[in-house]
Chain A
Amino acid sequence: MVSKVLYRTILPYVIFMICFVPVLSNYYFDVPILRSVETELRNWSTLIGLTAMFLGLANITIYYYREIKRRKHLEWQFGVYSIALTYAWIIYGLSQGGLTSPAYNEIYVFVKGHSEAAQIGLLTFFFVTAAFRTFRAKNMQALVLLIFAFIPFIGVAPWGEQIWSGWPAFSEWILGGITMAGSRAILIAASVGLVAMVVRIVLRYEKGGLIRG
């Protein structure tokens, strides 16, 4: 029971505080030892990031291996595809010298890069359907929203300034004035929320991933 509390509650909190205090203090005070501790912790974070990449690889391998073994869902075929492609890519990259190999770079650009661009490009078509099916001014609020959505949309198009030369400037004013006010409110609220969350974690009110049991 004691060990359970120690491992699940006390130890994560102690580790959190060891990392949290030097990083926060270094922001406010210029103390050499705090700076070096903070730098060391950041280097560790990079290492943790690297480890997480390997864990991610192991995780998808285990996940798809189980899916393929069970063959319960139709996705198992995608699992085969995913695992084959991932390992083929790793083996090819390692054997060819990684980023120093022009072939490796070309494959990345012309397969992965262009597939990704094509996938996002599909949104162009879905936007057309959405514009036709859902952009309906069914009440006054929807009408106002529609008008304000179209001002920057037309402001970007060259024909917007052909019908009225002030359109790009008007569109900029909407984005840099009205939209900015909204964005600023969201950003400030989110930042205050983040500070509140940190205070809750420090005071142990937050019982999420850090404190269990």
Chain B
Amino acid sequence: MKKEEGASVSIWSKAQSVRAEWLWLVTLVLIIVPLAVPPHVPFTVNQSTLRIYEYVKKLPDGSVIVSGGSGQWAFIYETSAAFMAFLTQIKNKDVKLIIFPLSTDSLMFEPWAVKVTGFDKVKEYGKDWVVLNYVPGGADITLPAFMTNIRGLCRTDVYGRPLDELPIFKTVNSYKDITLWVDCGANSIPSLARYVAPYKVPILGFVHSAYYGMFQPYIAAGQVYEMTNGIRGGGEYEKLVGYTPWNLGTVTMDSYQLYSIYILALVIIANIGTQMLKKEEKKQ
């Protein structure tokens, strides 16, 4: 009996000192396998994502949407799934899109997302959508200036064409002409709440999971209309839209399914192991 107890304790002890490389190898397998053979796990759509979808669906014809955030490549799988689903939803609507990047990365990221979703194929550049240049100084400086006088802040688009030559800017001058603001990035919500929300422009955010809880006060205060929750929010939005070229959220959800089970199993094993070792120490 004693021998058996000793053996079980040694297993727990061994489990505690397992090499990190083995854990990483299992992680790699759990991520790659669902990507190669996607099981398409079913999941329901959250109320937040549904509200965003419904809001965008009801946008009146001729609406002007500003995509102004600091989208980053580092979080491409986290936030761009929802952003791409959003672009897919609006590409067949009569709306105009102004990309106003709040970071240097965003300047490259947002036009890339536009191309991936085929938004540029159905919409005419200059008339239906435009990319403005990144203006240094930070959101605290650029956002108030943008809201009151777009031409005063940006004289040309990113390719150097004066704004007066672009048909989209015949009717767009300031916050009065903006129907909706979307944040494609990870962390621009506080700046938008400070400088965009006071002008009563509704804000939608496609945010990182880590910020989702942190930014909830802005929704409760009515400064932000709604946000999607990371990959899950992206997957849900894709489900509502039907299909986006990469289906980033849905594909990543398959991997996340196994990954989350694995993490939970590891935590349980580690905690049982700790208790068993404690027991052993007490006995000794």
List the interface of chain A (C-beta within 8 A of B). Answer: 39, 42-43, 45-46, 48-50, 52-53, 99-100, 105, 108-109, 112-114, 116-117, 119-120, 124-125, 127-129, 131-133, 135-138, 146, 150, 152-154, 156-161, 168, 172, 174-176, 179-180, 183-184, 187
Contact = CB atoms under 8 A, between A and B. Distances in A.
Contact of A39 (B28, B46, B142, B148): B148
A156 B152 contact: no
Contact of A159 (B152, B229, B257): B257
A109 to B, nearest CB: 6
Given A137-B271, A156-B231, A183 B73 contact: no
Given A116-B74, A180-B216, A187-B217, A161 B261 contact: no
Interface of B: 18, 20, 23-24, 27-28, 31, 41-44, 46-48, 72-77, 105, 107-109, 111-112, 135-138, 141-142, 144-145, 148-149, 152-153, 158-160, 209, 212-217, 219-220, 229-232, 253, 256-257, 259-264, 266-267, 269-271, 274
Nearest to B138: A49
A128 B48 CA distance: 29
Say whether chain B's binding surface is mostly helix, strand, loop, or mixed. helix
Contact of B24 (A129, A150, A174): A129
Contacts of A137: 271, 274
21 contacts: A42-B145, A46-B141, A49-B137, A49-B138, A53-B136, A100-B160, A105-B112, A113-B108, A116-B105, A117-B73, A119-B74, A128-B262, A131-B267, A133-B270, A135-B271, A136-B274, A150-B267, A153-B263, A179-B213, A183-B217, A184-B220
Contacts of A132: 18, 23, 266-267, 269-270
Of B42, B216, B253, most A-chain CB atoms within 10 Å: B216
A180 B256 contact: no
A116 B264 contact: no
A194 to B, nearest CB: 11
Contacts of A53: 136
Contact of B108 (A100, A109, A138): A109
B257 A157 contact: yes
Given A136-B270, A172-B48, 12 more contacts: A46-B136, A46-B142, A49-B137, A113-B108, A131-B270, A135-B267, A135-B271, A156-B260, A158-B41, A158-B43, A175-B216, A176-B219
B74 A117 contact: yes
B217 A184 contact: yes
B48 to A, nearest CB: 8
Contacts of A119: 74
